[in-house]
Amino acid sequence: MRSAKRTTDGVALPYFLQLSLISSLLSSRMNYSRFLTKLSQNRQPSLIRELTNLLTDASPELVFMAGGLPNPQMFPFQAASITMKDGRAITIHPKLMTDCLQYGPTAGYPPLVKKLKSLTERLHAPPRWADTDLIVTAGSQDGLCKALEMMIEPGDFVVTQEPCYTGTLSILNPFEPRYVAVKCDHEGMNPKALKEALSQWKPEEIRDVKTGVPKVLYINPNACNPTGVSVGEKRRREIYDIASEYNLIILEDDPYYFVQFGNLKDFPPSFLSMDTEGRVLRFDSFSKVLSSGLRLGYVTGPKPLVERIVLHKQVSILHASSMSQVLISELFEMWGEDGFLKHTEAVQEFYLKQREAMLEAAEKHLTGLCEWAVPTGGMFLWLKVPGVSETWEMILNRALKKDVILVPGRAFMCDPTTPCSYMRAAFSIVTPEKMEKGLKNLSDLIREELELQKA
């Protein structure tokens, strides 16, 4: 008798549904089980979710009595028309409305997944495309959280850039990880610093070890949150090689990819595009270019890892909002890939103007008080205040009295007890007039702080 795996619904998973899982594990040269937590390894497919997948491309003859799908006739919504800023409209006719309102596959709305695969193949040409999968998540944060939860056990070592996106630290901190913090400079993560941080281990001794050694490297390579700068191609190749030497999975968190200032053809290659070994999980987001409230992102990476994220989604959110997915899919239908990329150019132009206004205000008010690198994209200016060794108190206790607020740099540090002389100012929604006022107020605040220090 064939041994049947147990599903999360507590029933045995039929042989034909096990096949896809087993083949994806075998198809890879890497041993991914080293990277998976016990909890993640224990995840088994939900039978009902897997059967629901049969609905995709189902024959009209199929009598589907397997799922607990509510009857859409009883949903009160009929159709919709969404007016675009250019005057056109996306029409959601009644049949499409059913897709918007009904449960769907955990990996994502198939027409959208297809379009995102095409876009990803075009932009990143992943070298191991046949062994790579792409799934839709509820924003990139959802994918990032599930990926980290799939690989991190309490107390594990985690390699991350510092400063680091607070959303990532918030996922990691409850695990009480031992951070291997790699300092970033004005070009992002420095491979020399990465090598130095890993020098306490010998690569050949830890490559296959499951516990007590680093296995995951987190990096936000483009227009980084909070530093605003990007890692150049040479550094990326060196970082990839180091990850390969130490057998690390690279988490490429790239929500600002489409908000880099410059031509798409000149963007530095993504880690996914250089992943010949199957060690990159890439996180994309629509939040910065289409909508943050629709909550859509996508994860691309080695099938055995992506599959674990899908199993987690099967028991958490089931899938990202169908309404959001259909809307973005229809948008791509209307615009095509070229139209989408043209839109991202307009987004870049907008933020570039914002950056210019911010830099102008900074030159005027912060020269001599702060230092900064010019952001290569995104929406943040990372300010160093050389005269103030810790900006936390100054900002949180007194900035509001000066009618300005920003984020103290310590919020982005792996060890929140380390004093930090930086702060992050967002230039995304502030008008140039308000930037001028805000940075003038900030300069008053810093001068006051410097006076207090003298007293």
List residues binding ligand PMP (CB under 6 A).
139-141, 165, 167, 220, 225, 253, 255, 285, 287, 292, 297
Q: Indicate the pairing of strand 407-408 with strand 216-219.
A: unpaired
Which residues lie across from 136 on neighbouring strands?
A: 298
Q: Which is nearer to ligand PMP, 13 or 250 (CB)?
A: 250
d(CA 321, CA 182): 36
Least distance CB 291 / ligand PMP (angstroms): 9
Q: 141 or 247, CB closer to ligand PMP?
A: 141
Task: Name the residue nearer to ligand PMP (CB basis): 127 or 167.
Answer: 167
Tell me how far, at minimum, the Cβ of 203 lies from ligand PMP, in Å. 28
Q: Tell me the two tokens of residue 89.
A: 């409209």
Four-CA torsion 93, 112, 110, 282, nearest 10 degrees: -160
Smallest separation (angstroms) from ligand PMP to the CB of 31 = 28
Helix ranges, 367-398 (H): 392-393
**Residue 373 DSSP code:** P
Nearer CB in complex with ligand PMP: 109/412: 412
Closer CB to ligand PMP, 167 or 269, in the complex: 167
Structure tokens at 430: 């502030």
Angle, in degrees to the nearest 10, between helices 139-151 and 303-315 = 110
Q: What CA–CA distance (Å, rounded) separates 252 from 282?
A: 5
Q: How far is the CB of 245 from ligand PMP (least distance, A)?
A: 26
CB closer to ligand PMP, 218 vs 240: 218
Q: Closest approach of Cβ 222 to ligand PMP, in Å?
A: 9
Tokens of 220: 């936000």
Q: Which residue minimizes CB distance to ligand PMP?
A: 139
Residue whose C-alpha is closest to residue 244's, from 287, 290, 198: 198
CB of 74 to ligand PMP, least distance (A): 32
User: Residue 119 and residue 123: Cα distance in Å, rounded?
Assistant: 6
